[in-house]
Structures are given as structure tokens and as C-alpha cells.
Amino acid sequence: MDNQITKLPNSPANPQIPKSPNPHISAVLLSGGLDSAVLLAEEASRGEVQPIYVSAGLAWEQAERDAVARLLASGRVGSRVLPLVSLSVDMRDVYPATHWSIKGRPPAYHTPDEDVYLPGRNIILLAKAGVYCAAARLERLVLGTLAHNPFPDATPEFRSAMAHALSLGLAHTLRIDAPYAQVSKAEVVRRGASLGVPLELTLSCMNPTGTGLRAPYGDLSPTRHCGACSKCRERHDAFLDAGVTDTTHYADEANIR
């Protein structure tokens, strides 16, 4: 594989969605982060997968899209990964312009997870991806929710209700699974390392300092993490707890051990 990287395009206004001849393909919500990258690789080890990226107009999304492009171009997440589907649901008309996710000023390093909440985050991701799955005749949609996720749209009850509502409203049976719902982030890191996933190419940061696509074409160098937001803390702690060397590039290393 030539590992060439191209900038991910915005979704066309009226895409022609091919209907899959294989309804057993799993759709995977892929953000470019640790959890979704490892989930994609694990799912691909069992069968064909359809990665889906959903943009919502948040400050760090270009860096996420660059991370997704690098991850897929690496060829190290399995050979049964279909071309990326890129969708969008703009939430900037719902979240206030002063919200940290829009302004790009994320919560500080030691902020508890409970205080880093984006209302309806999984609702919008699953709704848009679910409509796509119905159009493509895919029957299973998975996301990388972890065991410690404290938010109301990360519960088994929510996923069950969402799958039921989408199945009814779309007249298409859709199952929503969260295979990591009882798994820690440290365990995800261990699984990723075991599978050979290029964890250094993933992005877990709400204020990345640069995007890799400014590097020479074809360069697989990762985007630099800020090292000062709560997502960077969560990422670094997971590597420490997993006993795996953290090779992430952090701009601020004051909290890095």
C-alpha cells in the first residue's frame, strides 16, 4: 500500500448511497480517537466494516479528520475496512457560540469527566449514522462508549431505546452495540497495542496544536496533542495504567509522566 493521504472531503449534498449486498457488515462510528480506532480494528478482524465519521461543527474536527485519514492510510487497522463515509450534522446553531467546544477552549487537564459534557452527542451521531445505515441496508452500528462514561446518552437503556426508535422510524431493523461498555480505556490501549493499531496516529485532544496535513503529502506523522486538556489527561493516564509506552506528541508536557 502506498500510504498516500488525502484531505477528507465534506459530504456531497445529495450522495448516491450504495445498498450493501451484505447486511452483516458492521458500521463503526470512527472519530480518529483511541477507542474508535481500536474498535474498528477489532471489528475488522471479524468481518467487513464500514467506518463512518460524523462532523458536528466542533473546533477540533479538522484535526480529527486528518487523524482519520492517517489512520486509514496506514493500512494497520485491518484489510476488511471499506472506504470512509463522511456525514455531517451542524450543531453550531444549537450550542452557544461561547461554548468551549465551539470556541476551542476546552476544560483543563484535571477537569472531571462529568464536567466535559456535550448535550446530545451520541444522539446526533447515532441518528445520522442510523439513517445512513438504513439507506445502505446495514443492520449493525457500533460505537466506542467506555465503562466509565458518565453521560445519559451512554447507557444501555439509551442505546436500546435509540435502536428501537430508529428501527421503527426507518422501517429498518438496526442494532446498536457498544462492545467496550464494560471496558476501561487502559484495556483498549492494551488491545490496540496487541493488534498493532498505530495508536500514535490517533487523536484524543480538544485543542490540537496543528494538523498533520500541513506536513508533506504522504507523511504519516501524527497531530500534536495540547497536553493541557482533560482528554489528553484521560489518554495519558490510560497508557500509564496499561503499562504501554505513550509515544504521543504533547505540546505541554508539564503533566506528562
pLDDT, position 226? 94
Provide the pLDDT for residue 1: 45
Residue type, 17: I
d(CA 77, CA 153): 27
Please state whether 92 falls in left (phi above 0), alpha (psi between -120 and 50) or beta. Answer: alpha
148 contacts 113 by C-beta, under 8 angstroms: yes
Please report how many Cα atoms fall inside a 13 Å half-sphere around the Cα of residue 221, on the Cβ side.
Answer: 11
Enter the C-alpha cell of residue 10: 465534506
What pLDDT, on the 0 to 100 scale, is given for residue 213? 38
Judge whether 178 and 159 are in contact, CB under 8 Å: yes
pLDDT at 216: 37
Neighbour count for residue 98 (Cβ, 10 Å): 8
Q: For residue 4, what pLDDT is reported?
A: 52
Question: Do 50 and 23 form a contact (C-beta atoms < 8 A)?
Answer: no
Do 170 and 131 touch, CB atoms closer than 8 A?
A: yes
Q: How far apart are CA 27 and CA 132, in angstroms?
A: 10
Is pTM beyond 0.85? Reply is: yes
Q: Please calculate the CA angle 249-255-257 and round it to the nearest 5 degrees.
A: 75
CA distance 252 to 41: 30
10-residue mean pLDDT profile of the chain (257 residues): values are: 50 64 90 97 97 95 94 94 96 90 88 84 97 97 93 95 98 97 97 97 89 44 88 96 96 91
The per-residue pLDDT for 219 is 57
What is the Cα gyration radius of the chain? Answer: 17
pLDDT of residue 124: 96
The x, y and z cell numbers of residue 14, run together, are 445529495
Distance CA 194, CA 242 (A): 12
Residues 6+ apart with CB under 8 A from 224: 208, 209, 210, 249, 250, 251
Beta carbons within 8 Å of 234's beta carbon, 6+ residues apart: 113, 185, 204
C-alpha–C-alpha distance, residues 27 and 125, integer Å: 12
Question: Computed from CA positions of residues 141, 129, 121, 205, in that sequence, does the dihedral angle turn out positive or negative?
Answer: positive
